[in-house]
Amino acid sequence: MRPEVAKLLIAVVLDVLDFTVGRIPGFEVAFDILLGVAAVAMWGWPGFFAFLEVADPTGQIDGFAPTMTLIALSQMRRAKKSPDAAH
């Protein structure tokens, strides 16, 4: 399996967990921080967009935006457009 596909699968799993477990009151902010750290570990600077979920104190945007998956897809697209991308 290609690394970018593996990262996408991990991102989808983490988003599903965020939509379910991440909705527990009091736990959602800690989970969003954990996801932000995971996103930075997987994608570097673009992963910092995952920390935007922490800025929403209501946690409602979290239920509609699969942030990790969107970051993964954007990085896959970026790698595909890059002339030095390995296939």
Print the SS3 string covering the chain: CCHHHHHHHHHHHHHHHHHHHHHCCCCHHHHHHHHHHHHHHHHCHHHHHHHHHHHCCCCCHHHCCCHHHHHHHHHHHHHHHCCCCCC
Write down the pLDDT at residue 8: 95
Q: What pLDDT score was predicted for residue 73?
A: 95
> What is the C-alpha separation between 16 and 10, in angstroms, rounded?
10
Q: Which residues of the chain have pLDDT under 50?
A: 87
The pTM of the full predicted model, rounded to 2 decimals, is 0.84
Q: Which residue has the tokens 């922490």?
A: 54
* pLDDT at res. 85: 53
What are the tens digits of pLDDT across the range 9-27? Answer: 999 999 999 888 888 888 8
